[in-house]
C-alpha cells in the first residue's frame, strides 16, 4: 500500500520465498476453493514473470490449476477476459490450465 508516508514501489524484485508465500493463503470463506483463492490472489498481486514462477511452485506441490470458483470458473476463464493478461494466460496454459466447460461453450 502506498500513501504520503510510504512511497509506491515499482519494479520490486520478488524472492522465491515471497512468491511461495502465496501458496499458504487461505480464503476467509470455507466454501471458497483454496487452490482457486491462492491462484487469484497471486494473479492480482504479481507481475506476469513472478506469477509464472508461482505457477511452477503451485504445480510442484500438486495443487489444482483447474480449481473452480463459486461460479464454476477456472482462473484461466477469469484471466482470459482481461485484455492485458495475455502473459498470465500463457503461463497458465503452458502449465496445463484449462478453461471450464461453461467458458468454452
The pLDDT, as a whole number, for residue 10 is 59
In a domain, 6, yes or no: no
What range defines the domain where residue 28 resides? Answer: 16-104
Phi, psi of 29 (to 5 degrees): -90, 120
Cell 468454452 belongs to: 104
In a domain, 33, yes or no: yes
Query: How confident is residue 92, by pLDDT bands cut at 50, 70 and 90?
Result: very high
C-alpha closest to that of 77 among 87, 66, 63: 66
CATH (domain of 49): 1.25.40
pTM of the complete model = 0.85
The pLDDT, as a whole number, for residue 25 is 93
In a domain, 55, yes or no: yes
Distance CA 78, CA 76 (A): 5
Mean local confidence (pLDDT), 81-93: 95
Q: Is the pLDDT of residue 4 over 80?
A: no
Give the count of domains, the chain.
1
Amino acid at each position: 500500500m502506498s500513501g504520503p508516508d510510504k512511497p509506491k514501489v515499482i519494479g520490486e524484485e520478488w524472492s522465491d520465498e515471497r512468491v511461495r508465500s502465496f501458496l499458504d493463503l487461505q480464503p476467509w470463506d470455507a466454501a471458497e476453493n483454496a487452490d482457486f483463492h491462492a491462484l487469484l490472489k497471486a494473479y492480482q498481486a504479481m507481475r506476469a514473470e513472478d506469477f509464472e514462477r508461482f505457477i511452477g511452485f503451485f504445480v510442484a506441490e500438486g495443487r489444482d490449476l483447474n480449481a473452480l470458483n463459486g461460479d464454476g470458473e477456472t482462473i484461466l476463464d477469469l484471466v482470459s477476459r482481461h485484455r492485458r493478461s495475455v502473459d498470465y494466460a500463457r503461463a497458465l496454459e503452458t502449465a496445463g490450465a484449462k478453461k471450464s466447460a461453461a467458458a468454452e461453450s
